[in-house]
Chains A and B, each alone.
Chain A
Amino acid sequence: MNKSDLMAALKDNSDIGRQEAEKVVNLFFQTIEDALRDGERVEIRGFGSFTVNHYKSYTGRNPKTGEQIRVPSKKLPFFKVGKELKEKVDY
């Protein structure tokens, strides 16, 4: 399923227009992105929570050439699956 499938399904399921469905779906992910960018945690009960994890820089190796490289510190989003979704997926 991709974003446009999601929009189409939302339109059919909740009796709203195509444009409104597009707006809501875009807004949903945009809002989560904005919150994460501000370093905020996002929690959606039953679905899961998003947090930003900080990773320190480390010296890695290119596995192909064996060459040492410094991997810079970075931030990555982390999604923890909510209880309800976890149980639903693994029945």
Chain B
Amino acid sequence: MSFTKAQLVASAMIETGFTRRKSAEVVESLLAILKGALESGEDVLISGFGKFCVNQKQERRGRNPATGDQMMLRPRKVVTFKCAGKLKALLNK
């Protein structure tokens, strides 16, 4: 079982004493802010955790792996995550 939003909401509820509804609202709002920043092309840096970067990818020639057809992949933006040294250290402890 993976850890999900519901569990995040629950732990926020315990920590802050908010009602479940309020907790859910706040967590949703937090996610909306994160998404909004990335959507506008802004990087999000969380020290000790990592950095969410928006990278611009150039147009390139790709292949459909199923059919082998060549196609052009248009220029696009992608989100990448670079983990902080602290988080890496924690995982390798």
Contacts and interface: CB of A to CB of B under 8 A. Distances in A.
Q: Do A and B come from one complex?
A: yes
Contacts of B45: 1-3
Contacts of A74: 88, 92
A10 B29 contact: yes
B35 A77 contact: no
Interface residues of A, number: 46
A43 B83 CA distance: 17
Interface in B27-41: 27, 29-35, 37-39, 41
Interface of B: 2-5, 7-8, 11-12, 15-16, 18, 25-27, 29-35, 37-39, 41-50, 52, 54, 76-81, 83, 87-88, 90-93
